[in-house]
Structures are given as C-alpha cells and as structure tokens.
Chain A
Amino acid sequence: MSFFSGGVRALRRIRADSARDWQPWSNRFNLAMALAISVVAGLGGTWFVLASSRGIRAIESGPWRAVIEIGSAQANPYARAIIARQGSAPMLAAELISFTAARDSLGGQLRSGCVYQLRGTQIETRLWTLAVLDSKGHILPADGGRHQITSLDVVREPDGSFEIALAERATPGNWLATGRDHKLSLSMRLYDTPLFANGGLASLAMPEIVPVRCS
C-alpha cells in the first residue's frame, strides 16, 4: 500500500512542482510513468479479456464458435471471471456445447432483411436446438414467427442432412423467422453429446449458413 500512496504523493508533487522544476527524466516522472503503464496495461488487459471472451478454450467450425470448459471445474481464471461477469451458468461440455454465429459462411453480418439457407449434416448428439437471436444473444420479441427449431422437429433428408430457410416470411420446408430490423445471431446447442468425450469436436461440421439474397 505504501508503494501506491508513495506513487500518489509523487503524482501530486509532480503536479505541484511541474511549473517550477519539471524534469522529464527524474525519478518521480519514471515512477509516475511506471504506475500509469501498470494500471493501463493491467486493467486494460482485464477489460479486454472480459469484453472479448478471449483466453478460454474455444472451438470453431465455419462461422460457428463455442467456448468449452468455461463452466467446469477445469475452467481457467479467465473463464471464471467471464462467467462471473456475464452471470451465466454454462453446463459441462459433456452435457451441452453451445455454438453461436454472428456471420454467414461468407463473412457477412447476419440480419433480418436477408434470406439464408442453413445446410447441415447429421450431428453426433442426442439433441440439438437452434434459435435465431438478436446480435446480443437475446431472444427476438414475439411476432408470430417461429424463431427456434430442434433436432426433434426438423425435417430431414433420408441421409440425415437438413436444410433450414431463414427468412422474414414463411417458406415451404424447415423455416425460421428472422423478424424485422434486427442484427441477428444464431445459437445452436448440442445436448448430451459424445463429441467432447470422444474427441469428435475437431472434425465436427456445423451447418453452413449460405446467404441467398438481401432485400
């Protein structure tokens, strides 16, 4: 503590003396600079980690990203700080792996005015759920359209693959409503999946999000 109060005193003195005997390379200046660097770098680094969810193990497949081990006992201090800030309660990866995508497969921001075609193959999981959310991950306001679908009610091809249209208006086949005037994100959750335990995550192919057209 004396180190810090010493620093504060040094800063005060610098301010008081600056007009008279400002010495750019004096010890006081160096101390003040060291303290300023430490606070900016230390707290700035903490802010960056919390804001960007960096520093935790994640897997990516196309535009999809999932952080894993975030809520487990193996979670590193970054993961623990991130869930504390979010106030979330993520489940163990053996029970739930939660993917999100904010962009289509070509890199464009997902948004309401566009039509997308989701093309997925069979995923090795007991159950998956897919939801259209806003860009902050909040559910869309009720507008009569359907914003979520699960592996239980999706209509598949004989080979297990499926296509889901994302559009403002209903289309034949699997369809999710994109609402109006939203920046969107997609959340696809794999429940009770063996992928984490059997090492299948590395080769997991999440659905493509193909942009069809924008109005």
Chain B
Amino acid sequence: MKSVLLSVVAGLILGALIHIASILTIPWAAENNAWSRLRGLAEINEVRRIEPDASGKSDLPDLDPAMHYAVCHYDLARGPLQIRAPVPRTYWSLALYDRLGINYYVINDRIVGPGELEVWVANKTQLLEIEPEDSENSGTSGEGESKDRLIVGAPRQQGFAVFRLLVPGASFEQTVEQALSGTSCATIILPGAPGAGNG
C-alpha cells in the first residue's frame, strides 16, 4: 500500500509539472490568439476596420458594440513603426499589444487632445538610434515624449495596435469615418539601417 501512496504522490507532482508546462506553452502555441487572427486578416502595417458581429463571427472576440475598431499588426524587425492618427472629439484610444496579447501601452483622446497624433513604436536598439541624446531615459522607461510625437518602447518585435472609437450618435458617423480612414501604420527606415538608402 505504501508504494501505491508513493505513486499517487509522484503522479500528482508530475501532474503539477505538466500543468505548469502546458499553461506556459499555450500563449506561444495558440494559433487562434489575437495576433495570429489579425495576421491572417491583413498585410503587415495594413489598417483594417473590424466590427462586432452577431453569433461570434467577429475578427476579435469581446468587441464592444458601442465602439468602432481599427487594427494593424507590425513587425519591428524591419524598422520602427510609425502610427499616424487623427484624434477625434469623442472617446478614442490607441492600445498597443505584443504578439502574446499583452497590452503594454494605451493612450486616449483625453491625454493627447484632439488633432493629429504621431506615435513611434520601437524596440530597445531602435530607441537608441532614434534619439541618441535621450538614450539614458528612453532605454529604461521605454517611453518618452518629444514635441511632435510619442515614442514607445515595445517589449517584443511583433505585435498589433487597436484603435477604439466611440460613436456617440448617427451624426458622428462621418467624424468616425474620417478618423479611421486617416489612420495609418508604416515602417520607418532609419538612416544607417541595413537596406536603407539603396531604394
């Protein structure tokens, strides 16, 4: 009987290890996570509208029917990402996610105010190249503010941006349309980067 008890305990310990290993593997192995879904929908840097749809056929789950959404996915291996977006006079937010779906940065219209917004998303190396003079603080906090644009440090090379925009009423449809159609994601070719200057 002692050996039976021992094997039960051994089984539970091994089970705990299997549990931990499987939980840690899922974010990397999941083929249906937000990043993979968005990658299948559009080209890299392509801004795409997504809307809540009945019966779960939306491109992303848990969308708020009161909001309009646009997304783009990026890969910093090619260079930093430049986001330009007209910020409307209604609730608007830009949320940046890494490829595992972690929301590492978010900003809304109340913070930036209405107008044209430019956000650069860069990895650690690129942060140093963008602003050599600010390198001492941009490297650690991963976020710095310059006059015309926000510079955000990304934790991983790949990820995606989600723009959320409230439509307060039918009369705002045009505002929403303008804001979303004016939104762009683009790769910046830094001077001195491999491949720069020979185009």
Contact = CB atoms under 8 A, between A and B. Distances in A.
A41 B12 contact: yes
Contact of A89 (B12, B34, B52, B108): B34
Contact of B110 (A33, A85, A98, A192): A192
A153 B15 CA distance: 52
Contacts of B95: 89, 91-92, 95
B106 A88 contact: no
A86 interface: yes
Contact of B23 (A46, A72, A138, A148): A46
A86 B36 CA distance: 12
11 contacts: A81-B24, A83-B33, A85-B26, A91-B106, A91-B162, A92-B95, A126-B110, A131-B66, A150-B66, A150-B168, A192-B110
A81 B101 CA distance: 10
A69 to B, nearest CB: 10
A126 B91 CA distance: 9
Contact of B54 (A41, A50, A83, A141): A141
Interface in A138-161: 138-142, 147-148, 150, 152-153
B112 interface: no
Given A27-B3, A36-B11, A141-B54, 9 more contacts: A25-B3, A33-B7, A41-B16, A42-B17, A49-B23, A91-B162, A95-B108, A142-B54, A148-B66
Nearest to B57: A138
B60 A148 contact: no
Interface residues of A, number: 61
Interface string B38-56: 0000000000000011111
A138 B55 contact: yes
Contact of A81 (B26, B32, B58, B97): B26
B19 interface: yes
A71 B26 CA distance: 15
With most chain A CB atoms within 10 A of its CB, the pick from B12, B19, B33, B62 is B62
A91 B91 CA distance: 15
Interface string A78-111: 1011011111111110110010000000000000
Contacts of A187: 64
Nearest to B36: A87
Interface of B: 1, 3-4, 6-8, 10-20, 22-24, 26-27, 30, 32-34, 36-37, 52-56, 58, 60-67, 91, 93, 95, 97, 100-104, 106, 108, 110, 155, 160, 162, 166, 168-169
A73 interface: yes
A30 B6 contact: yes
Contacts of A150: 66, 166, 168
Given A39-B18, A46-B23, A88-B62, A80 B8 contact: no
B26 A139 contact: no
Nearest to B108: A192
A78 B19 CA distance: 11
A107 to B, nearest CB: 24
A39 to B, nearest CB: 7
Interface string A119-135: 00000001101010010
B54 A139 contact: yes
Contact of B65 (A27, A31, A95, A139): A139
